[in-house]
Amino acid sequence: MFQARLNLYAGPGCLAWLAEAAGSSRIMVVTDAGCDRAGILDHVLAALLPVRPVGVCAFLAAEPTFTDVSRVCEAIAADRPGCLVAVGGGSAIDLAKAAAALATNGGSVRTYATSSYSGYRADALHSDPLPVVAIPTTAGTGSEVTRNAAISDPVTGDKLAMRSPRLVPRAQFLDPGLLRTCPASVAAQAGLDAAAHALEGMLSTLASPASDELAVDAVRRLVTALPGFCRAPADPDLAMQMQIGSLLAGLVLNDCATVAGHALARAIGAAAKLAHGLSVALVIAEVVRFNAADSDRRLGNTAAALGLDRTRPADSIATAIEDLRDSLGIPARLRDLGVTRSGLAPIAAAAAQFTALNPRPAGPEELLAVLENVF
């Protein structure tokens, strides 16, 4: 079964409906320092007039930590907002989702964190969070529609995921103009991460006819728009394609979760301190190839949508993703990013704990072979 909940505002000028969608005169904005510098925050604040936010929380780090969540929770306790408006990449939106949940449920991120996919019915929260309106400024995570929030432990570096259907934001605003300052390297990695959400969702043993339809459309939009978008992020049509592709991939991710690609990416990211999108970009093509025998039928429609040979779709899609990655200047080899050959086995062992939904059994040995191919 597939289930999704959307309250989507998409297109140039959609922020005109922001104040109405927020539904509260006590709004707190959660954002990152980059949005402030790029003038995006001012743009959003102007859209909120005459509502004057009761507070603005801007965090500095690349990915949110327990400390950031505590800071936002303290601001919520002091200013008592009725709605959080999250402006930024997946990190800012995840931060707002986590703080909104803790504000009404109590406890800490660890209280509700799970390390494995537990299905869309699983719900660790007992109360609805404060409403969150999500305004993504990158096209990648799909956090504006997902049921999870990823938060890191600043001491151990562990990344934990809070998961609940209640974490889905109340509304999503996709304004293509907000992507105009997105740096090419961020756009490239985030775009491939989004494509991986859709591809892995297709491979997942939880895939359904509805999720497959969305996944095919997501991959088609993302793969065809990404090269042009990286060159011209201010092009509203390309930005909109990326935003819609990323959102659709997020809906797929919600129901199908991810398979060996994200399992490996998480372990690589933790071991080599690499950004999530880069870790995913390193392995996704090889993971599609690894699953070829079990997924050619499912991937046929995607190959056709991309104008590729559908007699061996996994191979042709994997090659297309590698060509795309290379054309975007994303590194292709683990050895160039500080990973040693002796470091591969521990990464494979860590990743093997999270491959339950992979169509082909993927234990430490199989994953080590995948890693060797991208070493």
Binding site for Fe ion (CB under 5 A): 193
- Output 193 or 322, the one with its CB closest to Fe ion: 193
Distances from the Cα of 177 to the Cα of 16, 180, 189, 232, 246, angstroms: 13, 6, 20, 12, 16
In whole angstroms, give the CA distance from residue 92 to residue 99.
Answer: 11
Minimum Å gap between C-beta 315 and Fe ion is 23
Minimum gap (Å) between residue 12 Cβ and Fe ion: 27
Taking the least distance from each CB to Fe ion, the nearer of 88 and 131 is 88
CB of 105 or CB of 172, closer to Fe ion: 172
Minimum Å gap between C-beta 312 and Fe ion is 26
- Least distance from Fe ion to the Cβ atom of residue 89, Å: 12
Of the pair 83, 179, the CB lying nearest Fe ion is at: 179
CB-wise, 68 or 193, nearer to Fe ion?
Answer: 193
Question: In whole angstroms, how close is the CB of 25 to Fe ion at the nearest point?
Answer: 35
Residue nearest to Fe ion (CB): 193
CA dihedral angle for residue 113, residue 261, residue 93, residue 188, rounded to 10 degrees: 160
The answer to whether 257 touches 360, Cβ cutoff 8 Å, is no
* Least separation in angstroms between CB 221 and Fe ion: 17
**Cα distance between residue 303 and residue 308, in whole Å:** 5
> Which one, 94 or 322, has the nearer CB to Fe ion?
94
Query: 295-304: long-range contacts (C-beta < 8 A, 24 or more apart)?
Result: 295/202, 295/203, 295/359, 298/202, 298/203, 298/207, 298/212, 299/202, 299/203, 301/212, 301/216, 302/199, 302/202, 302/215, 302/216, 302/219, 302/220
Measured distance CA(231)–CA(188) in Å, rounded? 10
Nearer to Fe ion, 105 or 143 (CB): 143
Task: State the burial class of residue 184 (Cβ atoms within 10 Å of its Cβ: 0-12, 13-18, 19+).
Answer: middle
Beta carbon of residue 193, minimum distance to Fe ion (angstroms, whole number): 4
